[in-house]
Structure 1
Amino acid sequence: MNMNNQVYSARPWLGFPTSKSLGSFGDANCMEQLLVHCANAIETNDATLAQQILWVLNNIAPPDGDSNQRLTCGFLRAIIARAANSGTCKLLTAMANVHTNLAMNNHKFSIIELASFVDLTPWHRFGFTAANAAILEAVEGYSVVHIVDLSSTHCMQIPTLIDAIATRFEVAPLVKLTVAGPTEDFPPMLDLSYEELGTKLVNFSRCRNVVMEFRVIPSSASDGFSSLIEQLRMQHLISAENGEALVINSHMMLHYIPDETLPVVQTANSPQISIETCSSNSFLRSMFLEALRSLDPTIMILVDEDADFTSNNLVHRLRSAYNYLWIPFDTVDTFLPRGSKQRQWYEADICWKIENVIAHEGPQRVERLEPKSKWVQRMRNASFRGISFSEEAITEVKSMLDEHAAGWGLKREEEDVVLTWKGHNVVFATAWLPI
């Protein structure tokens, strides 16, 4: 199908295609091509073509349609937001004629709501289950376990880990939990402070006969969590002398650290990441991993989404995002009814990601996912070696997946495990030891 011919053929009419002619645009491949052409038109300031394609997309991709239509509607919103961000008056006039609801209000979850929300799908539970199993094996025999939790889900993994510690060990270790309280707001968002969250976790642990100490360190991904690293360095010698287990648990957080496609502005008040120590080929992600390695952790867990959103080329990024983010839209039909509040929250979070990937550039574009292969190479370069998940861990993950729709699967790739949906990679989980 030649999309250029189909789109441009509308121009001689001095109008738009009729509704009868829209049927051929209805499949996902054609909608993706229309989005690509629209993005190109906006980038080249072709307001007339952009307006025509937007009209077509607005008619074939309603926000309450099937999964592909809702996905495309999310990208349509993002493209319009990008045009608005460009500040081009001519384009903004064209956009005003497209009746698309641009409102995306991200819900602030209560603890109970967020716990139920992450349990809806294996998207997060997969990483929680694999990580907890590996952590339990690594810390056996230690009387003190220091967990540094870098999580996008506000410690939702921790209660299940505390439960497992209480059940598995005859004498539970003292658990020190350090949380990197992000200074940015990324969905899902919580309606209480980290101090309040810490109090709830400490009280929960006490009910399970596990003593917990909680500490939050406000820290930003934009500078490679430099304040967190500085605090951990100050503790490191004392912790090492006391024989504590140090666990670094990263769950879908490290991709918010700027990558090589974003020029890094170094600051003098970031001692671990300063101009003096930063060579031309040193970047924040790699430097952060090297800093973690210098702490000699007992184990490090790295869980993230297996996609690549790092390209500086808008079309490449759009294609990559479109061919990954269809998955959450496809899966939601298996567990949430249309019109439910949870479904609105779920899809609003996805649309936030789409808008960030498409509508923003520079430091504002924080959704910079990298595929598993790139993270594996980064970890190896930072002097970590991968370790396999045990058969017990694999069994637990499979058991968890049995609670969800049949399309979810588990794939093993060397030492790593990967969550799949209908055979497509979704989330990877890796476990690492310092060399």
Structure 2
Amino acid sequence: MRTLLIQCAQAVADNDVRSANELLKQIRWHSSPFGDKHQRLSHCFAYGLESRLLGTGSPLYAALAAKNMSDVRILKAYKLFISAFPFMKTSNFFATQMILEVTNKANRVHIIHFGISHGFQWLPLVQHLSKRPGGPPKLHITGIDHPNPGFRPAARFRCLLDDTILENSPRDAVLNLIKRINPVIFIHGIENGTYNSPFLVLRFREALFHFSALFDMFEANVPREDPDRMVFERDIFGNEVLNVIACEGSERTERPETYKQWQARHLRAGFRQLPLNQEIMKKITAKVKLYYHKEFFVDENSQWMLQGWKGRAILALSCWKPA
């Protein structure tokens, strides 16, 4: 099936409508949003290819994105994602512990959170600070969100346009802004991805590998008939894949970079990387091993905490401060 999908992507890229439609028929015959992980993945990618072929990708994505984020079904689907997989809980624990470490004697704590969403993730920090010996510090939290908010904070930087679209990259502009703020610590979480090529087939191939891991993760941890799983696969993964395949230029907002690419951006912007706290790393690793599927992993490389599934790094976090 993967071969058929890549052949179809090549036909679409070549504007070979006849071949693309023939391949889509074959893919549709073997795909389904209700089947196994391979059938669901194929259905998702076939929809993106079909939308690109019809030229409906950009308006369709915009309409779906605007609708989805206010949908109660999406809220329930994200609740499933948070409970079934360790990524959000471990990321929040990591951030909370690092902030507690660098502010243990501070009288005032100001957190600026890019991509805050609802802000529920800060409740544990508030509880910890409230119990601090000698009394809690004054706490101020400033939330800055993307105009099209979702529930995955790491997605915010991923959706900023990059150097291939604008000469003055918004990604570098945000890093420069953070540097001017001069924080005691800058904790950066990113979705680790390689599907940001300007060439459709290469982008398609890399996205196929990336989302294969995500669909496999759902298959191993959530029953197929779970309605929230189907919503997440269709309305979250499906919309992301639609944008990756069917949108171009500034309308393609799904533009992930690897943690190594972000490492270079941080250094160019004048940040100094802070070492990972090994005690925190041990606690996170132990929690993931104890409570989650054995194929989830926590690792570190170049002072980034990596989280992933079956050897593929999906999320990465690191700590920085202006040099």
> CA-to-partner distance for each residue in 1:134-156, whole Å, 9 max, x for gaps?
11111111111111111265324
Equivalent position to 2:291, from 372, 382, 403:
403
User: CA separation in 1, counterparts of 2:151 and 2:278?
Assistant: 32
Cα distance change, pair 152–251 in 1 and its aligned pair in 2 (3 A): farther
> CA-to-partner distance for each residue in 1:150-193, whole Å, 9 max, x for gaps?
126532421232233334555221211111132225x449xxxx
* Match runs of 1:130-279 below 5 Å: 130-151=94-115, 153-167=117-131, 170-185=134-149, 187-188=150-151, 251-262=154-165, 264=166
Q: Which amino acid aligns with 2:220?
A: T
Deviation, structure 1 residue 355? 0.8
* TM-score after normalising by structure 1: 0.67
Aligned 8 A contact 1:252 1:305 in 2:
yes
Unaligned runs of 5+ residues in structure 2 are 58-63
SS at 1:182 equivalent: coil
SS at 2:221 equivalent: coil
Larger radius of gyration: 1
Q: Residue 66 of structure 1 aligns with which residue?
A: 36
Q: Residue 223 of structure 2 aligns with which residue?
A: 337
Deviation, structure 1 residue 321? 0.7
Q: Which has the higher contact order (CA 8 A, sep 6+)?
A: 2
Q: Which amino acid aligns with 1:417?
A: M
Q: Which amino acid aligns with 2:281?
A: I
Aligned 8 A contact 2:47 2:242 in 1:
yes
Query: Greater shift after overlay, 352-361 or 103-112?
Result: 103-112
User: CA separation in 1, counterparts of 2:133 and 2:24?
Assistant: 59
Deviation, structure 1 residue 86? 6.2
SS at 1:159 equivalent: helix
CA RMSD in angstroms comes to 2.4
Count of aligned pairs = 312
Q: Residue 13 of structure 1 aligns with which residue?
A: none
Q: Which amino acid aligns with 1:106?
A: N
User: CA separation in 1, counterparts of 2:213 and 2:126?
Assistant: 31
> CA-to-partner distance for each residue in 1:74-132, whole Å, 9 max, x for gaps?
11011111112269xxxxxxxxxxxxxxx997362489845564232123223212222
Cα distance change, pair 117–86 in 1 and its aligned pair in 2 (3 A): closer
SS at 2:68 equivalent: coil
Cα distance change, pair 389–167 in 1 and its aligned pair in 2 (3 A): farther
Q: Residue 268 of structure 2 aligns with which residue?
A: 381
Equivalent position to 2:207, from 313, 317, 321:
321
Q: Residue 46 of structure 1 aligns with which residue?
A: 16
Q: Residue 360 of structure 1 aligns with which residue?
A: 247
Percent of pairs with identical residues:
25
Unaligned runs of 5+ residues in structure 1 are 1-30, 88-102, 190-249, 265-279
Q: Which amino acid aligns with 2:26?
A: V
Q: Residue 121 of structure 1 aligns with which residue?
A: 85
SS at 2:55 equivalent: helix
User: CA separation in 2, counterparts of 1:380 and 1:128?
Assistant: 24
Q: Which amino acid aligns with 2:163?
A: E
Q: Residue 60 of structure 2 aligns with which residue?
A: none
User: CA separation in 1, counterparts of 2:180 and 2:262?
Assistant: 18
As a proportion of its length, which structure holds more helix?
A: 2
SS at 1:53 equivalent: helix
SS at 2:25 equivalent: helix
Q: Residue 194 of structure 2 aligns with which residue?
A: 308
Query: Greater shift after overlay, 293-302 or 386-395?
Result: 386-395
Aligned 8 A contact 1:149 1:178 in 2:
yes
Q: Structure 1 residue 106 and structure 2 residue 68: aligned?
A: yes
Q: Residue 178 of structure 2 aligns with which residue?
A: 292
User: CA separation in 1, counterparts of 2:44 and 2:116?
Assistant: 22
Aligned 8 A contact 2:116 2:144 in 1:
no
Q: Residue 61 of structure 2 aligns with which residue?
A: none
Equivalent position to 1:416, from 304, 307, 310:
304
User: CA separation in 2, counterparts of 1:152 and 1:319?
Assistant: 31
